[in-house]
Amino acid sequence: MRFRDSVVWVTGASSGIGEHLARLFHAEGAHVVLSARREDALSRVAEACDGPGDTMILPLDVTDETAIGTAAGQVSARFGRVDILVNNAGLTQRGRIAETSLDVYRRIMDVNFFGPLMLTKAVLPSMTERGSGRIVCVTSVAGKYGSPMRSGYNAAKHAAHGFFDSLREEVARHGIDVTLIVPGTVRTDVSLNALRGDGSLYGRMDPFLASGMDPADCAGRILDAVHARKREVLIASGVARRNVWLKRLSPALLSWVTRRRKS
């Protein structure tokens, strides 16, 4: 019960990593606020939560600034605070730069960068006033190196790394911790919901994701990182982990390898 009576707000909680995060936090005694756009899916996750804390179903589009302000007020009215904010909602892309519309880029940036930014700013004043809190952002190895067909996603995740690294330095004196989670390939539906260059759904399960890490295992490692107040944790193996290190040690070699990928 490492998180007993903590109020934990998880976005993207309707499936994948977010669903398992919500269930594990709840099992460890937390009061969990579940947010995503699909209320029916959130209800299913809430029913699966099996712990002593409360659950709050709070449908939310993280790109809607007005809705974020309203949601933050609802959480405050229900629980009085947010101890841990987990920015997990995400949207990826499958399309070449020349074929991708600006609207698609804006949508991807809104979900992956401006959404976490706005939600963090909504809860930050109360955390600062209390002198405690933890802010978590689930990014991706896409925030560490670039790859074809995912330029908008790469850009958004790089931006998120820059923002939350900066935030950490600003809020440390207020007793607030910031943790960046960097997953590699995790077995979720993220590619099914990816946007093509024209904004249509990609609608396919990428083979490398289908054989990826179990999202429950990933979520468990995230809880360990949050409890340990880690600054940044890479949760990846195989090609994804290799690429992170190649980017640091030999960018030219990484470029050579990337250009020979088929997808």
Residues known to be catalytic: 153
| Residue owning tokens 């707000």 | 9
* Distance between CA atoms of residues 133 and 84, nearest Å: 6
